[in-house]
Amino acid sequence: MKLWGGRFSKNTEFIVDDFNSSIRFDQRLYKEDIEGSIAHVTMLAKQSIITSSEGESIVEGLKALQIDIENNLIEFDISAEDIHMNIESLLISRIGDVAKKMHTGRSRNDQVALDMRLYIKKEIKTIDQHLFDLLETLLQLSSSHTETIMPGYTHLQKAQPTTFAHHMMAYFEMFKRDRDRLDATYSRMNQCPLGAGAFATTTYDLDRQLTSDLLGFDSYCLNSMDAVSDRDFLIDLLQNISVIMMHLSRFSEEIILWCSHEFKFIELDDAYSTGSSIMPQKKNPDIAELIRGKTGRVYGNLISLLTTMKGLPLAYNKDMQEDKEVTFDSIDTINMCLPIFTKMIATMTVNKKIMKAGADGGFTNATDAADYLVKKGLAFRDAHEVIGKLVLYCINNNTNLSELTLEQYKNLSPIFEDDIFDAISLDTCVSKRQVIGGPAKEMMEKVIQINKDYLKTTAQ
């Protein structure tokens, strides 16, 4: 007989048990379920709702059960539906009727809301640590490449010269914002739903502050209906993970381009590449491609949960059971992608000469040539036109700005002098960009130090 079976005159069919059950995927919540139950029972005993000896017996039984679960000595029962009923049934079979008092003043509705919050809080810390490790790697790469010149792009067309450090630190800022979003999600969800009951609390004299304190929450949920039906914190997390995956996917796209024969800007380590079953010459960036592909899957999980929640009336509905698989899948995916991506970029080889040669083509110094004329007194729009004509001349004559003679420059503007060649050298183009946030070595070193200090203050 099921723990809720008193009202029923016949057993459910096995196919119904199988369809209704969530134990296949929510069994990963066993630690949180036991942790929450211990706090709840401790509070019940303190409030004299159950006796101290009853509370001690239940707590000891729960702790022993957790040890057996972790030693793979427990087989969960599909007919018990979920992790909550499995834990309770197992405890009753071990310590007897006293275990039936554990659920006093509690519902599975506030229980599952609690378990998910406890679980997500831990997972946010894990994801944040992976992001921290990635940020450390990006700082190390950037520190080593403040003078590694490469082309910067807009519209995937060569635009202006920059440095590899400057490019890497752009991703640093993205992942730093991801940590901020995770922290905000953690803060918003750090309220304890336990005590909400099914949705209208209970007639027992519960001490919700005590259970909140025992479980490490900042406070407790102020509305019991919202407490059991809120899944905003999961949607927030899936949004956070989706944005992280979007950033990883953008980065992966560049890795895929850069290690191609057409670019050759980087080479991935053999340990983080794969080959072809038919083409012996191939070295494929499969890790980056898989991360790019898994991003779509994570987006799908977010849309799935949003769609599930969009039509639900208050308070709890069984539809909400669908929150777990998509959440667990997104967490598992991000916890797999972040560490391997970090190791992949930490071990790649940066081809400095090829990067600089890439910046030397495509007229990436054209803006600096125009700025040269402006500093000589010409209006920017007029300077823009002069350099545009020079670029067109170079294209028609298969040359570039650095290879033109001073005479060819003066044919378009008498303002040009010998110093034009220094002004448009790649080293000058980068080193003169002394605005904070720019690629000049001194500016990059300042920003890198700022972010080193940031990591020191935000380490777990």
pTM of the predicted model over 0.85: yes
- Domain 362-458 class in CATH: mainly alpha
pLDDT at residue 79, as a whole number: 82
pLDDT at residue 193, as a whole number: 97
pLDDT at residue 458, as a whole number: 95
Residues 6+ positions from 220 with CB-CB distance below 8 Å: 191, 192, 193, 194, 195, 208, 209, 211, 212
pLDDT at residue 5, as a whole number: 56
Q: Which CATH superfamily is domain 109-146+159-206+215-357 in?
A: Fumarase/aspartase (Central domain) (1.20.200.10)
pLDDT at residue 7, as a whole number: 57
| Per-residue model confidence as pLDDT tens for the chain (460 residues) | 555 455 555 566 556 666 666 778 888 999 999 999 999 999 999 999 999 999 999 999 999 999 999 999 999 988 878 889 999 999 999 999 999 999 999 999 999 999 999 999 999 999 999 999 999 999 999 999 999 999 999 999 999 999 999 999 999 999 999 999 999 999 999 999 999 999 999 999 999 999 999 999 999 999 999 999 999 999 999 999 999 999 999 999 999 999 999 999 999 999 999 888 888 888 999 999 999 999 999 999 999 999 999 999 998 988 888 899 999 999 999 999 999 999 999 999 999 999 999 999 889 999 999 999 999 999 999 999 999 999 999 999 999 999 999 999 999 999 999 999 999 999 999 999 999 999 999 999 999 999 999 999 999 7
* Residue from 276, 384, 413, 431 carrying the catalytic annotation: 276
Residue 155 is a catalytic residue: yes
The rounded distance, in Å, linking the Cα atoms of 89 and 417 is 89
pLDDT at residue 24, as a whole number: 83
* Residue from 9, 155, 261, 277 carrying the catalytic annotation: 155
Domain boundaries, the chain: 5-104, 109-146+159-206+215-357, 362-458
Answer yes or no: CATH 1.10.275.10 is held by domain 5-104: yes
pLDDT at residue 19, as a whole number: 61
pLDDT at residue 14, as a whole number: 58
Residue 130 is a catalytic residue: no
pLDDT at residue 277, as a whole number: 84
pLDDT at residue 22, as a whole number: 78
